[in-house]
Amino acid sequence: MSRVFRGLGHLVSRRPWWVLGAWVLFAVVVVTTAPTVTATTDQADFLPGTYESIKGYELIDQAFPQTQQAGATIVFDRSDGAPLSEQDLSTIATIAEGLRPGSAFGTVGEVTPSPSNQAAIVNIGLAPGVTGQDPADLDQVPDLRDQVGRAVEGTGLDEGVTGALAQGYDQTESGQNAEAIVFVATIALIVVLLGAIFRSVLIAFMPLVLVGIVSAVAGGLIAMVEKAFDLNHDPSTSVILIVVLFGIGTDYILFFLFRYREARRDGEVHRQAVSLSIERAGEAIASAGGAVFVAFMTLVLSSLGIFRSIGPSLAVAVAVTLLAALTLVPATVTVLGRALFWPSKKWREQPRGSRFAGVGASLGRHPVRYAAVSGAFLVVLSVFALSFNPTFDLGDSNSASDVESATATATMEQKGFSAGATDPTPIVLHAGDGRALTEAEVKTFSDAVAGTEGIGQVVSATVSPDDPSTALVMTILKYDSASGEALAAVKDDLRPAADAAAPQGTEAYVAGTAGVFVDFQAAMNRDYSVVFPVAAAIILLILMVLLRSLVAPWYLMVSVGLGFAATLGATVIVFQQIKGDPGLIFLLPIYIYLFVVALGTDYNILMVARLREEARAGRDPREAAAQAVRHAGPTIAAAGVILAGTFASLMLAGNSLLLTMGFAVSFGIVIAAFVMAMFFTPALTALFGHAAWWPGHSDAVVPVTDENPHLPVTSGTPSADPHDTDPHRSDDAVSEP
């Protein structure tokens, strides 16, 4: 394997303009040929057809094609807080009759006052064939709001538009705002931190240019993959991709730059240092990127479309980033030459008595102490993960609480309406043998369902005129259809009651938002039991191949598993116990898996690869651990700070999903970099000693030969390099103190 990276290093350092030209050509071809994909926020689109809610919707489409799904709900109340008068209700009816809501909307319903007359609502359905997921449909929401706002002027009434389409519009706007905020914060953080670390203008801005090229290529390839495999595109992917591309891209750039700077300090001339850096760091970078790629790609095993779409998208982004790290980055460094570190002069100097050298020396002397303390820290936090309570309230999670759809829904609920009034829950009764259902059977079934815990009202019960074997019972839940109470009511009460009340030879299907999320939860639990073990097995195999060992990979995986649990536990402490949230968004474990597990493996691989390299130089296990922390520690620390900072920028996005995810992933990366990779992994490796590398014993001392001319730590004057373009290369040679 080292021969492969040695050859790649030779090619890139000798032919950098060929590499850069190939990248430009590749980017142009991909960007110009990439198809356009449409995002969807409809969670039903992400479920397979085997689940009850989807079967129910399929029957509704067949037997009740004229039925309009809920599109928008207009909430009216008085500005002075008084109950609505007859005159107010008449005014609201006149406003409703005069509305021209746009082509995405269908029938405007009747005015429905709350029992206390504190508020009234007007429901508007979606037009036939409209799903509410097309951006053109969402764009009609502002016009509807403008119409209603102008109509209530001077009437003493307040208004607000909520419902499925309005919530979708607000979520989209929130996502776009989040994308802009995250982008700006990420760019600023990378520029400032890289500038501080290297004191170089070019290095500070290098990731912006290089990752910009990678982003264009990755975006085009992702669109091609989604189009080719008919994958749904989740809108949150765009925000996450910004962080992944800039975060991981900057990480891999750092892995290379730190190694390049170390080689120059050890006396290597410019092009030889580029080649040597690819040779030494290439296998670790490729293995780290491969582990992340595998972690993302295993999501194709998910039964949920949301994960099947996110997984390949992020895997493509990582693959392109990895290719760039091994070719585009070193080619750029080769071309920049001595200008790379301008205006800094300090980069030439070997660090003396650095903090990482001190930490490494201490760890080498006391590995038991470091392993015990860091391990105990991870275990204690992991215990709190058992208190994780998932919530499916995506409407609240994907938009700020002060957007119009959220405030209108709150007004409606506070003034007497059932929380589920804007989103009725349909129950489909279907005779499998095709016989016609009688009105009496449907009424009996409807009456039985009406008495179920969690049902606020049965709105209608109708036999299909086109297919008499199917009936539709429309209900309103007492709870918000995305809340935990609604899900519990559907799962524990409504579905069992509907099954029991269904006449012999018929089946009942509870659909609606709550029904979809109940099925979503079941599918997610199934996915956890499949995706996580498969990913762990493949990553374990990658580690075994990289390290040629059957011992070290196991405790590395235990370390990463503890990092996952500790991250979830810390998030539970902060948000459930301190902040007082009733639960955490159900997607959180998957996102922690995607980033903390995958990237935690990255840092572990980098540290263990350096541990093996130091051992091959003839050092005993404890001294190898000390030197690995000294040399790899600064790289991991810098990469961890930048990556954690980029994910922390998600907390500025203004919605609870990204706030929670930003904290969880950034905290998890800090754990992965500063606890797992910096302390736990090298301490355990020092304790296991040579047994850590059994049976391959890849830590055996490697003699200096023509095939392997470089030891991990070199010194002396630079060798002649006829291809080196640095006219002052002899000035760059700094011997080890």
Give the count of beta carbons closer than 10 Å to the beta carbon of residue 140. 20
> Taking 60 as the threshold, does the pLDDT of residue 434 lie above it?
yes
Domain with CATH 3.30.70.1320 in the chain: 52-162
Q: Which of 596, 585, 567 is nearest to 380 (CA)?
A: 567
How far is Cα 270 from Cα 11, in angstroms, rounded to an integer? 14
Helix, strand, coil shares of the chain as percentages rounded to 5?
65, 10, 25
Task: For residue 184, give both structure tokens.
Answer: 């700006």
What's the pLDDT at 352? Answer: 62
Task: For residue 220, give both structure tokens.
Answer: 């085009």
What's the pLDDT at 44? Answer: 54
Q: Which amino acid is at 17?
A: W
DSSP string, 551-564: SHHHHHHHHHHHHH
Lowest-confidence region among 123-137, 237-251, 310-324 = 123-137
How far is Cα 614 from Cα 624, in angstroms, rounded to an integer? 5
Nearest-10 crossing angle of helices 270-297, 305-326: 170
Q: Which of 529, 514, 526, 455 is nearest to 52 (CA)?
A: 514
Say whether domain 52-162 belongs to CATH 3.30.70.1320: yes
Annotation: CATH topology of 416-512 = Alpha-Beta Plaits (3.30.70)
* Dihedral angle computed from the Cα positions of residues 236, 237, 238 and 243, in that order, rounded to the nearest 10 degrees: 100
pLDDT tens readout for residues 647-684: 787 787 666 777 888 899 899 999 999 999 999 999 99
pLDDT tens readout for residues 586-636: 878 887 887 777 777 788 888 888 898 888 888 889 999 999 999 888 888
What's the pLDDT at 720? Answer: 40
pTM metric for this prediction? 0.75
What's the pLDDT at 725? Answer: 43
The half-sphere exposure of 408 on its side-chain side, counting CA atoms within 13 A, is 26
Task: For residue 5, give both structure tokens.
Answer: 């990276």
What's the pLDDT at 397? Answer: 47
pLDDT tens readout for residues 179-217: 677 778 778 888 888 888 888 888 888 888 888 888 889
Mean pLDDT across 40-64: 78
Query: What is the pLDDT confidence band of residue 575, given thresholds at 50, 70 and 90?
Result: very high
pLDDT tens readout for residues 76-110: 999 988 999 999 999 999 998 888 887 778 788 88
Whole-number average pLDDT of the chain? 82
Task: For residue 316, give both structure tokens.
Answer: 């493509």
Annotation: CATH topology of 361-401+513-700 = Multidrug efflux transporter AcrB transmembrane fold (1.20.1640)
**366 contact partners, CB below 8 Å, separation of at least 6:** none
Q: Which amino acid is at 391?
A: T
How far is Cα 298 from Cα 538, in angstroms, rounded to an integer? 9
β-pair partners for 455: 477
pLDDT tens readout for residues 455-478: 888 888 889 988 899 999 989 888
Query: What is the pLDDT confidence band of residue 722, given thresholds at 50, 70 and 90?
Result: very low
The DSSP element (H or E) to which 499 belongs, if any, is helix 495-501
Domain with CATH 1.20.1640.10 in the chain: 1-33+177-344, 361-401+513-700
Task: For residue 628, give both structure tokens.
Answer: 């690995």
How far is Cα 388 from Cα 397, in angstroms, rounded to an integer? 17
How far is Cα 307 from Cα 590, in angstroms, rounded to an integer? 9
**Higher-scoring residue by pLDDT: 703, 314:** 314
**CATH code assigned to 1-33+177-344:** 1.20.1640.10
What's the pLDDT at 343? Answer: 83
Query: What is the pLDDT confidence band of residue 705, given thresholds at 50, 70 and 90?
Result: low
Pick from 64-68, 267-271, 288-292, 600-604 the range whose average pLDDT is largest.
Answer: 267-271
Lowest-confidence region among 119-123, 319-323, 566-570, 694-698 = 694-698
pLDDT tens readout for residues 382-426: 999 999 988 876 555 444 556 788 788 888 878 877 767 777 899
Mean pLDDT across 44-67: 81
What's the pLDDT at 453? Answer: 84
CB 632 within 8 A of CB 606: yes
What's the pLDDT at 375? Answer: 94
The DSSP element (H or E) to which 244 belongs, if any, is helix 236-265
What's the 3-state SS for 436-494? CCCHHHHHHHHHHHHCCCCEEEEEEEEECCCCCCEEEEEEEECCCCCCHHHHHHHHHHH
Mean pLDDT across 631-643: 85
How far is Cα 9 from Cα 84, in angstroms, rounded to an integer? 77
- Identify the burial level of 573 via C-beta atoms within 10 angstroms of its C-beta, where 0-12 means exposed, 13-18 middle and 19 or more buried: middle
Q: Which of 596, 625, 164 is nearest to 398 (CA)?
A: 164
